Amino acid sequence: MDRRQKILTGIVVGTILIGAAIGVTGFTKRLMSPLRTHSAFESSESEAAPEFAAGEWINSEPLKLKDVRGRVVLIEFWTFGCYNCRNTLPSVKAWDARYREKGLIVVGVHSPEFNHERKIENVRREVASLGIRFPVVTDNDYQTWRAYKVEAWPTIFLLDKQGQIRWMHVGEGAYDKAEQTIQKLLAEEDKLPARPRGV
């Protein structure tokens, strides 16, 4: 085997070993998660949504899911430095404006990626500058993130009026499907409880 063949063999073997190590450690999922375009889930029979963990609330008093039973809830996991999150924001804001009076409550769960995104004054500033009027709760310890088994920003969940997770989408896109699901869940029942203060 000449020198070139040995070098080429070394490169191939090294690449295979690195690939295997990455796969075994689960690093691939973390590495590829920002590149995932989308992943979706829909069900008519789903599990109850986990409660929001403690955090700082913006645009609302603290909310509990039990307080908004009878309303459709859209939960978006986002962070203000994420460009994919910023790309989904116009649609989320439009749904809030279009369906709020019809029974939709949008809640942004701000789960930071970087240290400067953990500071409440930065989150408040960005929420205001982005024109976000729906409730936002900070999730600096990722308790809500983990409870919902989120893996990437942004991730959107739609809850029915009984607090069951009925639809989920990871990444940008699927805006038409999201809106159709909002309309479908809003049409399932007509009775609405009193709206909590601030939403």
Spell out the long-range contacts of 120-128 with Cβ–Cβ below 8 A and sequence spacing 24 or more: 120/56, 122/80, 123/56, 123/58, 123/80, 124/58, 126/80, 127/58, 127/59, 127/80
Q: Cα–Cα distance between 29 and 151 in angstroms, integer?
A: 8
CB atoms within 10 A of CB 152: 19
103-128 CB burial, b ≥16 within 10 A, e <16 = bbbbbbbbbbeeeebbeeeebeebbe
Give the whole-angstrom CA distance, residue 99 versus residue 112.
27
The pLDDT assigned to 154 comes to 98
Is 177:185 a contact under the CB 8 Å cutoff? no
With cut-offs at 50, 70 and 90, classify the pLDDT of residue 36: very low
**pLDDT of 33 over the 70 cut:** no
pLDDT of residue 173: 96
Question: Where are the chain's structural domains?
Answer: 1-35, 38-187
95 three-state secondary structure: helix
User: What's residue 47's pLDDT?
Assistant: 86
Q: Is the peptide bond before 154 cis (omega within 30 degrees of 0)?
A: yes
For residue 67, the model assigns a pLDDT of 93
Convert the pLDDT of each residue in 136-182 to its tens digit. Answer: 999 999 999 999 999 999 999 999 999 999 999 999 999 999 999 99
pLDDT band at 194 (very low <50, low <70, confident <90, very high): low
> In 3-state terms, what secondary structure has residue 116?
helix
Report the C-alpha gap between 6 and 2 in whole angstroms.
6
pLDDT at 37: 42
pLDDT, greater one: 18 or 135: 135
Give tens-digit pLDDT for 1-29: 677 777 767 676 656 655 544 444 343 34
The domain made up of 38-187 has a fold known as Glutaredoxin (3.40.30)
> What average pLDDT is seen over the chain?
85
Report pLDDT for 7.
72
Parallel, antiparallel, or unpaired for β 136-138 and 104-110? parallel
The pair of structure tokens assigned to 115 is 């240290």
What is residue 12's predicted lDDT score, i.e. its pLDDT? 63
Give the best-scoring range by mean pLDDT among 5-9, 185-189, 191-195: 185-189
The pLDDT value recorded for residue 19 is 53
Query: What strands lie across the sheet with 72-78, from one edge to the other?
Result: 39-42, 165-170, 155-159, 72-78, 104-110, 136-138, 57-58
Q: Judging by beta carbons within 10 Å of its beta carbon (0-12, 13-18, 19+), is residue 138 exposed, middle or buried?
A: buried
pTM: 0.77
Whether the pLDDT of residue 193 is over 80: the answer is no
